[in-house]
Homo-oligomer: A and B are copies of this chain.
């Protein structure tokens, strides 16, 4: 009997982060970092782990979406799945009835991503490699075969993608050696949550520089007077040589984004992130044109490769921010990395939340070794929250991510943490104080 997927277990796990306003921004004042967590189990007792990051209410819906797609995974042969996760990705995204609920967006698309990522985790474990290394060891043709080009060929063809990867083959061994020795640049969002007071902001900015970060990020968009004051404090603390990015989390319309950012320009912001709706390709382009040389960054809510394609075609972004859990998994993120490489735009992955750092580091490291070949203008977001719950947590030191070497995609959460934070029946949520302290809007 060949080894098959025997079950897809799902868990609604939520951390009561809103109590201390960790993660608070203009659009998300009270997030409870959460995940639709999933485990693929095989008939031989192997496991692949994945998760879809969420921020509280609705995580049950995300779990239900994973279960809606699970019948397309259960019973599949493991050797076929791990040899070609792209075929599964196409089936999950293309189901002709469930597709109506997207298409290629929202909970059904993220559910597909969670399942696809879990298959990659399983594949990397079987190969006894961290995912970034598994990907980097695939041939250009194998990688390109993992991408669905249906809607992308007006910007990037299969042949062009192979050429990009082939070109990057020179120097790979040296880059891999450097990566293992020196790690990959990180930037930190820890100082800048909107819910923190000025003293905490100043202290955390100071500590970030002492810790070796060259780029920090502040949340903006709540109140202009506050933003001017906070940005002034941050700039004074870090000095002129540290880059300060700002992040509006979609709070503005296009004219408002331009007006507001002109008031902050005096503090030399490095990029403005999510100045408006993530769907507004042309709006990002207008903001970018008006605010140059301030860069425009977006991606954590950009729901698929078709949207990234247009952001690049329209010269609407300076920085592409892939997210490990928003699109349909590793395969669609490969498409985005290839598109970014074609257009020569650097990728600075979105991370934070629960497990986003753990997952997305693999994609950035692969990109450095096997595709872009550069860390110039690139850094992975780092937030020091909730890593203690992971079996293979990220290691960040001196402002750099150290390359993970454990097999898999680093997605696995400790069993004790899953039990404690399972919603609504885990002990962490049974605590009445926690429940009372969770605002509802």
- Quick check: A105 and B303 within 8 Å, CB to CB? yes
> A96 contacts which of B29, B62, B65, B286 (Cβ < 8 Å)?
B29
Nearest CB on B from A18, distance (A) = 9
Question: Is A232 at the interface (CB under 8 A from chain B)?
Answer: no
Chain B residues with CB under 8 Å of A101's CB are 54, 58, 61-62, 106-107, 110
Alpha-carbon separation in the docked complex, A101 to B63 (Å): 11
- Quick check: A58 and B255 within 8 Å, CB to CB? no
Residue of B nearest to A276 (CB): B151
Binds B, one of A277-285, A328-336, A415-423: A277-285
Alpha-carbon separation in the docked complex, A109 to B307 (Å): 18
Question: Is A104 at the interface (CB under 8 A from chain B)?
Answer: yes
Nearest CB on B from A66, distance (A) = 10
Residue of B nearest to A301 (CB): B103
Residue of B nearest to A257 (CB): B154
Residue of B nearest to A29 (CB): B96
Chain B residues with CB under 8 Å of A367's CB are none
- Quick check: A283 and B151 within 8 Å, CB to CB? yes
Alpha-carbon separation in the docked complex, A280 to B154 (Å): 11
Copy number in the complex reads 2
Nearest CB on B from A15, distance (A) = 13
For A308-326 the 0/1 string (1 means CB < 8 A from B) is 0110011000000000000
Interface residues of A, CB < 8 Å — how many?
A: 63
Alpha-carbon separation in the docked complex, A407 to B96 (Å): 36
> A153 contacts which of B29, B106, B254, B441 (Cβ < 8 Å)?
B254
Alpha-carbon separation in the docked complex, A304 to B279 (Å): 9
For A140-164 the 0/1 string (1 means CB < 8 A from B) is 0000000001111110000000000
Alpha-carbon separation in the docked complex, A378 to B99 (Å): 28
Given known A57-B68, A61-B65, A282-B281, contact A97–B32 (CB-CB < 8 A): yes
Chain B residues with CB under 8 Å of A279's CB are 104-105, 303-304, 306-307, 310
Given known A58-B108, A105-B105, contact A441–B96 (CB-CB < 8 A): yes
Kindly name the residue among A58, A110, A278, A303 whose own CB sees the greatest number of chain B CB atoms within 10 A: A58
Given known A99-B27, A282-B310, contact A255–B154 (CB-CB < 8 A): yes
- Quick check: A310 and B281 within 8 Å, CB to CB? yes
Question: Is A405 at the interface (CB under 8 A from chain B)?
Answer: no
Question: Is A269 at the interface (CB under 8 A from chain B)?
Answer: no
Question: Is A82 at the interface (CB under 8 A from chain B)?
Answer: no
Question: Is A168 at the interface (CB under 8 A from chain B)?
Answer: no
Given known A27-B96, A253-B153, contact A61–B107 (CB-CB < 8 A): yes
Residue of B nearest to A149 (CB): B253
Chain B residues with CB under 8 Å of A254's CB are 151, 153-154
Alpha-carbon separation in the docked complex, A281 to B285 (Å): 14
- Quick check: B106 and A108 within 8 Å, CB to CB? yes
Given known A107-B108, A154-B253, contact A54–B102 (CB-CB < 8 A): no
- Quick check: B283 and A281 within 8 Å, CB to CB? no
Question: Is A85 at the interface (CB under 8 A from chain B)?
Answer: no
- Quick check: B277 and A104 within 8 Å, CB to CB? yes
Chain B residues with CB under 8 Å of A65's CB are 61, 107
Question: Is A60 at the interface (CB under 8 A from chain B)?
Answer: yes
Kindly name the residue among A31, A103, A109 whose own CB sees the greatest number of chain B CB atoms within 10 A: A103
Nearest CB on B from A381, distance (A) = 16
For A364-394 the 0/1 string (1 means CB < 8 A from B) is 0000000000000000000000000000000
> Which residues of A163-208 are within 8 A (CB) of B?
none
Question: Is A87 at the interface (CB under 8 A from chain B)?
Answer: no
Complex A-B, nearest 7 residue pairs according to Cβ-Cβ distance, in ascending order: A106-B106, A56-B97, A154-B254, A57-B97, A58-B98, A151-B277, A279-B306
Q: Can you report 29 A-B residue pairs in the complex whose CB atoms are below 8 A from each other? A: A28-B100, A30-B96, A30-B97, A32-B97, A54-B100, A55-B97, A56-B97, A57-B95, A57-B98, A58-B97, A61-B61, A61-B64, A61-B68, A61-B98, A61-B107, A62-B101, A102-B105, A104-B279, A105-B303, A107-B107, A107-B108, A151-B253, A151-B276, A151-B277, A154-B253, A154-B283, A279-B306, A279-B307, A280-B309
